[in-house]
């Protein structure tokens, strides 16, 4: 089961910098219409079984290019902004400064004096999500055309972020954020994916142009160990034929890059070579989590007595962050190692845009760790697909996740 949340295309209010909540009215701009057409082409490659809009004009217009039957459900409307609806942020800051600060601080006060509170929005979205899941069977795919505030609320709830300034970018117009039902739970698979508009989203490009360093993380291509569902860890598997094909498609879509760093493990170094314009620098900090004596086994084998089932149970069922295999690394050690690696290349390279080719666990450890998501909560976010791209902007306030697990080139 997969549920994808599609933010509407650019609206006239978006273009004018006006806050537009749950009111009707306004149209998509020409850019918004082009965005809607682009995402429709992408979604129609594998048409969803169900399409729902919030019923507001801008979501209905975004869904129209799909040419498929559409339902509307007001539960997915944008948050009720009360008296702030139709105002710009500078206007709201001038007139409602104290109330705006209180909302940004996460306090339970109505937005715009008579709008919704954060808790009310979360409750509304939770009920709507449960109702939607109950309608879907295994293998079903649904698309919900909704709003930026709703997608951000879903991400905050998923990553258990209550603070006022989350370390992830707000969803872009026509971005796709997907959740998949895996092992009995709905888990986040992609966030803020605008691959149909280009390899790097508009916000990240803007920040890069303004001087903030941008780090592109790429997971390596497929290996035979991936196919056999073996624990690879730091065992040095190379790419298989499909993995090399994926790396080639990545280079064609994303383009070759100047400052490329990689894990020294063969599967990452070979993937990096496909997109490097001028060689690859290998760093041990970007290697995968060491699973110690567990490497080469399947996760099913780990649950047996010979596979050290008690240790596996403590780690994966009870959530204890212990050295994998008894002689490997902890998740916290991996997170710290990745942070050291990024800091090292930023300080030494001097480039504003660097590419790091690494591994599924290592990329999750860094990107989610920056948001305070540690073991075992990281398991609620799906490992990026082979050669999927994730972007992080290094701002003055710290790393900010721009998107997660974008793999348009594989569709």
The structure's pTM equals 0.96
Q: Could you say which of 167, 193, 219 is where a domain stops?
A: 193
* Mean pLDDT of the 362-377 span: 96
Residues 44 and 117 occupy one common structural domain: yes
Q: Taking Cα atoms as reference points, which of 139, 121, 118 lies closest to residue 129?
A: 121
Structural domain includes residue 324: no
> 236 and 209 in one domain?
yes
Among 193, 220, 247, which residue terminates a domain?
Answer: 193
Enter the tokens of residue 204: 């990240």
* pLDDT tens-digit readout, 114-123: 999 999 999 9
Looking at the structure, do residues 168 and 243 belong to the same domain, yes or no?
A: no
Within this chain, do residues 175 and 235 fall inside the same structural domain, yes or no?
A: no
- Residues 376-393 have a mean pLDDT of 97
The answer to whether residue 48 is domain-embedded is yes
Same domain as 136, residue 45: yes
Residue 322, domain member (yes or no): no
Residue 26 lies in a domain: yes
Question: Does 251 reside within a domain?
Answer: yes
Range of the domain at 263: 202-290+329-410
Burial label, 350 (beta-carbon count in 10 A; 0-12, 13-18, 19+): exposed
Look at residue 308 and tell me if it is in a domain.
Answer: no
Co-location of 225 and 256 in the same domain: yes
Model confidence at 148: pLDDT above 70: yes
Same domain, 45 and 66: yes
Across the range 17-24, mean pLDDT stands at 89
CA distances from 102 to 110, 112, 165, 168, 391 (A): 10, 11, 13, 20, 30
Q: How much is the average pLDDT of 215-232?
A: 97
- The reply to whether 221 and 174 lie within a common domain is no
Q: How many domains would you assign to the chain?
A: 2
Provide the pLDDT for residue 127.
Answer: 98
Alpha-carbon distance 247 to 245, whole Å? 5
Residue 50's SS3 state is: strand
Both 220 and 161 in one domain: the answer is no
**Average pLDDT value for residue range 193-209:** 97
Mean pLDDT over 265-270 rounds to 98
My answer on whether 60 and 130 are in the same domain is yes
With bands split at pLDDT 50, 70 and 90, how would you rate the model's confidence at 106?
Answer: confident
Residue 80 has pLDDT above 90, yes or no: yes
Whole-angstrom CA distances from 226 to 98, 232, 298, 360 are 53, 8, 10, 11
pLDDT at 37 over 80: yes
Verify that 243 and 206 share a domain, yes or no.
yes
Q: Render the burial of 194-212: b for 16+ CB within 10 Å, e for the rest.
A: bbbbebbbbbbbebbeeee
- Note whether residue 296 is domain-resident: no
- Whether 113 and 189 share a structural domain: yes
Residue whose pair of structure tokens reads 């942020």 in the numeric block: 89
CA 162 to chain centre: 18
Average pLDDT over residues 282-298: 96
> Where is the domain boundary, 175, 193, 211?
193
CATH number, residue 21: 3.40.50.1240
For residue 398, being part of any structural domain is answered with yes
222 — pLDDT class (breaks 50, 70, 90): very high
């Amino acid at each position: 089961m997969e549920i994808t949340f599609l933010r509407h295309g650019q609206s006239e209010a978006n273009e004018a910098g006006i806050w537009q909540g749950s009111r009707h009215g306004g149209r998509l701009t020409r850019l918004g219409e082009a965005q809607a057409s682009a995402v429709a082409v992408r979604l129609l490659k594998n048409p969803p079984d169900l399409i729902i809009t919030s019923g507001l004009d801008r979501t209905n217009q975004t869904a129209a290019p799909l040419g498929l039957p559409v339902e509307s459900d007001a539960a997915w409307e944008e948050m009720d902004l009360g008296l702030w609806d139709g105002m710009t942020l500078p206007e709201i800051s001038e007139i409602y400064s104290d109330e705006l600060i209180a909302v940004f601080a996460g306090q339970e006060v109505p937005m715009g004096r008579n709008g919704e509170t954060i808790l009310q929005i979360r409750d509304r979205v939770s009920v709507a999500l449960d109702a939607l899941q109950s309608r879907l069977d295994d293998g079903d795919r649904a698309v919900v055309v909704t709003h930026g505030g709703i997608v951000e609320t879903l991400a905050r709830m998923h990553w258990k972020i209550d603070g006022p300034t989350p370390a992830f970018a707000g969803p872009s117009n026509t971005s796709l954020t997907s959740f998949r039902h895996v092992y009995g739970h709905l888990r986040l698979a992609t966030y803020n994916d605008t691959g149909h508009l280009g390899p790097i989203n508009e916000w990240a490009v803007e920040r890069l142009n303004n001087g903030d360093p941008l780090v592109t993380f790429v997971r390596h291509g497929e290996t035979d160990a991936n196919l056999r569902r073996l624990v690879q860890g730091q065992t040095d598997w190379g790419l298989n034929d499909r993995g090399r094909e994926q790396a080639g498609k990545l280079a064609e879509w994303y383009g070759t890059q100047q400052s490329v760093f990689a894990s020294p493990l063969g599967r990452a170094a070979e993937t990096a070579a496909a997109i490097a314009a001028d060689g690859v620098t290998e760093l041990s900090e970007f290697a995968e989590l060491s699973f110690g004596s567990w490497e080469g086994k399947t996760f099913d084998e780990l649950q047996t007595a010979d596979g050290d089932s008690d240790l596996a149970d403590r780690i994966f069922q009870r959530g204890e962050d212990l050295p994998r295999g008894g002689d490997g690394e902890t998740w916290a050690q991996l997170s710290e190692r990745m942070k050291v690696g990024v800091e090292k290349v930023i300080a030494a390279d001097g480039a504003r845009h660097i590419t790091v080719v690494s591994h599924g666990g290592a990329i999750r450890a860094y990107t989610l760790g920056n948001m305070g998501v540690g073991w075992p909560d990281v398991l609620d976010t799906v490992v990026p697909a082979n050669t999927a791209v994730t972007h992080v902007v290094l701002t003055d306030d710290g790393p900010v996740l721009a998107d997660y697990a974008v793999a348009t080139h594989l569709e």
